[in-house]
Amino acid sequence: MSRLLVIEDDATIGDTLRSALTANGYDVRLAVTGRSGLNVARIHAPELVLLDLGLPDLDGFSVCRDLRALLPSTVIVLLTARGDPLDIVSGLESGADDYLVKPFVVVELLARIRAHLRRAGSASGDGDGLRQTVEIGSLTVDAGARRVYVGGQEVELRAKEFDLLSRLASEPSVAIRREDLMADVWDTNWFGSTKTLDVHVAALRQRLRGAAEAAGPDATSALPEITTLRGHGYRMDLPPAKPHASR
């Protein structure tokens, strides 16, 4: 039975979510403030958190960041009445994996939850245990150990960032459609916007670039680039070849 935490200050919404999720076989805890939600998360280590951004005591983005630091592998889904794209991007950049704008349909929420938990379970299973390592320039992706290195230095990535990087690195120089990336990294039955893909790509670029710059100029120049293909998707481009030394 998967453990879920709902952090929602609206009693009607909170009770409705708890009843619906419990009826679908989940072990659900409900918190009505950010502080109590963080305390419940520390004690029960939920596999997925539904987090309302409009909390009475703490800023929802701050709670999201604290949850991500506390539980790196836990799925965080934002519940927000804020339809502003900037707010949504801020939430995803705070560490969330997904979001739903209120009012939402419970059936869609349940589908999202099932999709996220399936992906999380698949990622933690490590498949058949075989190690598959991809090296592209200064980037090394070890799919078996779920570790990433740039210039020999390990880079800490969130679960979805690793899955996305691993998927792109599995086919360097190949254009991959947005729909295929969403299906492979999130779920084949994904509902709603794919904006989360763009935010995760932006975060991934930033982390890899920062790691390369810290490792030195050789790592930076040999770092592959994630290229945006407007109207299509993304492609991982090989780093430019080093010029031959003149004799």
Q: Is 206 exposed, middle or buried (0-12, 13-18, 19+ CB in 10 A)?
A: exposed
7 near 34, Cβ under 8 Å? yes
Q: Which fold has domain 3-125?
A: Rossmann fold (3.40.50)
Domain spans in the chain, listed from the N-terminal domain onward: 3-125, 133-237
Per-residue tokens: 244: 């031959």
Q: Is the pLDDT of residue 215 over 50?
A: yes
Q: CA-based Rg of the chain, rounded to a whole angstrom?
A: 19
Determine the 3-state secondary structure of 177 from DSSP: strand
- pTM score above 0.75: no
Q: Is 28 exposed, middle or buried (0-12, 13-18, 19+ CB in 10 A)?
A: buried
Q: What is the distance of C-alpha 118 from the center of its chain? A: 14
pLDDT in tens, 20-69: 999 888 999 999 999 999 999 999 999 999 999 889 999 999 999 999 99
Handedness of CA 101, 104, 109, 111 (dihedral sign): negative
Q: Which fold has domain 133-237?
A: Arc Repressor Mutant, subunit A (1.10.10)
pLDDT in tens, 59-108: 999 999 999 999 988 999 998 886 667 777 788 888 888 888 888 888 88
Per-residue tokens: 30: 């409900």
Q: What is the distance of C-alpha 59 from the center of its chain? A: 20
